[in-house]
Amino acid sequence: MKRPQIKIPLTKLDYALELVSLLSVLGTILLFIVFWSNHEDKAVCIFLLIISIFTYLGMTALSRLPHILNFPVNVSEENAFILCKLAIRMLRWTKLFVCLMFADIIWQIAVYKHNLISISLYFFLGGMAICFIYYILKMTKITNSQQYHRHTNH
């Protein structure tokens, strides 16, 4: 069965997640430029910056193509909208955590001049894990049209 292509309208939360993700990438670029002369590990910072930018761009592009994503349940006409909405929201949260994580790592290298793992890295990884668990569990509960209509009315 071909999956329907659905346009998911952005909510205020979606706009906020996108804005903070974008600002974190732009801030990372600015931080990199400002502290360029201080970087002892220029190659590492350049690599991390490139990974951060491509991750942001890739996840942004992927969020516009929800019909190609994999889901933990079968997709039908009845549940496609809510599944896509949840998957995109999960993707946006993940993008935010990844962008903030790279910004923090580059900050640690540029400002504190060390490659030690900061405690904040555990926050970002934990946030991603909680996000995955929450949204996947939420998607697995979407199995019939009754649940679909109940969730889309909010």
> pLDDT tens digits, residue range 73-128?
888 777 888 888 999 999 999 999 999 999 988 888 877 766 667 788 899 999 99
Residue 3 falls inside a structural domain = no
Cβ burial of 63 (10 Å; 0-12, 13-18, 19+) is buried
Question: What is the pLDDT, as a whole number, of residue 1?
Answer: 54
User: Which band of pLDDT confidence, cut at 50, 70 and 90, is reported for residue 72?
Assistant: confident
Residue 68 falls inside a structural domain = yes
Residue 16 tokens read as 């906020």
Residue 118 falls inside a structural domain = yes
Expressed as residue numbers, the domain containing 68 is 12-152
Residue 6 falls inside a structural domain = no
Distance in angstroms (rounded) separating the CA atoms of residues 117 and 104: 10
| pTM: predicted TM-score of the whole model, two decimal places | 0.83
Q: Is 143 helix (H, G, I), strand (E, B) or coil?
A: coil
Question: What is the pLDDT, as a whole number, of residue 86?
Answer: 92
Residue 148 tokens read as 């679909």
Count structural domains, the chain.
Answer: 1
Question: What is the pLDDT, as a whole number, of residue 151?
Answer: 47
Residue 2 falls inside a structural domain = no
